[in-house]
Amino acid sequence: MTTTVLVTGATGGIGGHLLTALAGRDVTVRALVRDPDRLAGAGGVEVVRGDLRDPDAVAAALDGVDAAFLNSPSAPDAATTQIAVADAAATAGVSRLVLLSQFAARADSPVRFLRWHATVEQHVHDLGIGHVVLRPNLFLQGLLAFAPLVAATGRFGAPIGDAAVSAVDVRDIADAATAVLTGAGPDGAVHDLTGPRAVTHAGIAAALTRATGHPVTFDDLTPEAFAAALDGVLPPWQAAGLVEDYAHYGRGEAARVDDAVAVLTGHPARTLEEFARDHAAAFAPAG
Ligand SMILES: NC(=O)c1ccc[n+]([C@@H]2O[C@H](COP(=O)([O-])OP(=O)(O)OC[C@H]3O[C@@H](n4cnc5c(N)ncnc54)[C@H](OP(=O)(O)O)[C@@H]3O)[C@@H](O)[C@H]2O)c1
């Protein structure tokens, strides 16, 4: 019998790569999306229209599913939303729920995103459903948020000093998710997904300089200056959360390198240099 895998967040940074990676496996792939037009190019995917906050849509999407990938964006109600989806997965008889969490998720973390993820992790653990937790570190693709600024000014800034982070490429997160969705690793496992080494933001600037052929400079900002730069760009809760995230990185709490990507996927984790090369056009000056 062919396994049916449900992907949530299918139009997102991880989801797009995950659909591609799963297409090469002997599974039926289903995606729950708010706007099916956004998946128009994804052949071979059963598309179910629905919102993760809609219990009926979630139940319909989970019908007959063997394994599900649960990913939704950071939001003040993210834990509530994800807990309701996890409960529905248990009711639907899903045998493996793969939860996208975050590196260093902890109930007592000063970082709100890490507390939210820890709440969901604990709930899924207590639910008794077969599950695997993926805890990726800072996404390298998250740096694309700086790309327009880098392309326009050759500079970007954040409050991190010279602390290093073992940032991970979302393509490796998708590959690791593919492995565990199709059976790799034991139930209950928690995998820290990191890049192959920890990198500083000055190192990121140097990699972007080499990849684009244009000088890129990193500015170490105060948390106040960073918050001011985000004012009006992000909702206040998200800007405050990002400041907390960067304080956590700045304390060196996200520098550890883990071999889970290589162990789960069979290939080495992608490097900063590969990311910079593959996304150079986004960081290069126009024209
Ligand atoms: N960024 C980082 O460095 C980092 C590091 C570690 C962990 N994380 C975690 O990664 C997770 C994903 O974050 P992200 O911002 O990168 O998101 P993302 O995976 O790029 O995108 C979120 C996806 O969720 C979908 N979505 C949003 N609201 C939805 C809803 N109500 N119902 C159904 N689908 C919905 C979006 O679809 P549409 O908008 O197309 O409908 C999109 O496909 C978060 O939990 C975050 O904490 C992030």
pLDDT tens across 263-278, in order?
Answer: 999 999 999 999 999 9
For 201, phi then psi, to 5°, come to -70, -30
Instruction: Count CA atoms closer than 13 A to 192's CA, side-chain side.
Output: 16
Residue 91: other Cβ atoms inside 10 A: 11
Ligand 1 pocket test, candidate residues 11, 37, 98, 253, most atoms within 8 A of CB: 11
Q: Which CATH number fits domain 3-136+170-193: 3.40.50.720, 3.60.20.10, 3.40.1440.60, 3.20.20.70?
A: 3.40.50.720
Instruction: Count CA atoms closer than 13 A to 170's CA, side-chain side.
Output: 21
Q: Which residues line ligand 1 (CB under 6 A)?
A: 9-15, 33-35, 38, 51-53, 71-74, 100, 102, 113, 136, 138-139, 142
- Report CA(206)–ligand 1 centroid distance (Å): 28
Q: Tell me the C-alpha distance between 180 and 272, whole Å.
A: 24
Ligand 1, atom 13, residue with closest C-alpha:
73
Task: Decide if domain 143-164+196-283 falls under CATH 3.40.50.720.
Answer: yes
The pLDDT score that the predictor gives to residue 96 is 97
Which stretches of the chain drop beneath a pLDDT of 50? Answer: none
Residue 15: other Cβ atoms inside 10 A: 23
Indicate where the chain has its CATH 3.40.50.720 domain(s): 3-136+170-193, 143-164+196-283
- Report CA(15)–ligand 1 centroid distance (Å): 9
Which ligand 1 atom is the nearest neighbour of the CA of 113? Answer: 47
Token pair listed for 216? 């890129």
Instruction: Dump pLDDT digits (tens) for 223-243.
Output: 999 999 999 999 999 999 999
Closest CA to 133 of 145, 142, 124, 143: 124
Contact status, residue 97 vs residue 66, Cβ threshold 8 Å:
no
Ligand 1, atom 15, residue with closest C-alpha:
73
